[in-house]
Amino acid sequence: MIFNSLPGSVMDLIYPKICPLCGNIVPFGRGMVCPGCAGRLTYACQPYCMRCGKPVEEDEQYCRDCTCRKHKYDEGRAALIYDEYMSKSIYRFKYNNKREFAVFYGKVMADVLGDKIRRWNADAIIPVPIHKSKLKKRGYNQAELIARQLSQKFKIPLKNDIVIRQSATTVQKNLGVVARQNNLKKAFKVVEDSVKLYSVLVVDDIYTTGATIDAMAECLKNAGVSKVYFAALCIGRGN
């Protein structure tokens, strides 16, 4: 199509960007977020848990969850705090077909987590998969769209065919910690006979209790992966 060859600035005039936080049109030339929302992002900055990246007090190294429970993954971080703005944004991203938000999310994650991602030196990026029934209904996997952005920015191969979600699990947000873990037992499966990767970076949109990442990590490590890290767009405040 002829539109594919047009400069980005011209495309922005024809198809204005939608602010991923409020849903309004971003004025031409003002970036990816409208001026009123530019200061609404709450970054997951220090002090944070040294294992998962949740906010902690100044004198704490680990959050309560990571102190009480041994995770299967090795380390992870998130770029933003999951608040009311990001809750609405991610809802539109997942359920209102706002796939273009992935570009903004990927940029934020790259800006905030870039040093950490480079230090992890992952051999591949693996998005948390969704069940085929949900993929058919939604049309896309939101974690994969974000993972693809990170893959392009950091030149790390995207592997979306190594792990599948073999069971359609209950929505995690309605469950407690133990129920989340039980809900995800045997949810994921490595479909390649041999996973010749030393370290991988698992990407998801939201990190809460870590049950999903743990299930992914256990699955991958059982298949021979040595190190499993995660990068999430948002993380909860609970410790």
Q: Are 125 and 147 in contact (CB under 8 A)?
A: yes
Task: Specify the pLDDT at position 175.
Answer: 46
Q: What is the pTM of this model?
A: 0.87
Is a pLDDT exceeding 70 seen at residue 183? no
- What are the tens digits of pLDDT across the range 63-105? 999 999 899 999 999 999 999 999 999 999 999 999 999 999 9
| Structure confidence at residue 28 as a pLDDT band (50, 70, 90) | confident
Task: Specify the pLDDT at position 166.
Answer: 85
Q: Mean of the pLDDT values across residues 129-144?
A: 93
CATH number for the domain running over 15-235: 3.40.50.2020
| Paired residues of 199 in beta bridges | 227
* DSSP, residue by residue, 87-155: HHHHHHHHHS--TTHHHHHHHHHHHHHHHHHHHHT-SEEEEPP--HHHHHHHSS-HHHHHHHHHHHHHT
- When comparing pLDDT for 128 and 32, which is higher? 128
Beta-carbon count within 10 A of 68 CB = 9
pLDDT, averaged across the chain: 87
Q: What percent of the chain has pLDDT over 90?
A: 67
| Structure confidence at residue 110 as a pLDDT band (50, 70, 90) | very high
- What are the tens digits of pLDDT across the range 206-217? 999 999 999 999
Task: Specify the pLDDT at position 9.
Answer: 56
Angle of helix 101-120 versus helix 142-154 axis, rounded to 10 = 60
Q: Where are the domains of the chain?
A: 15-235
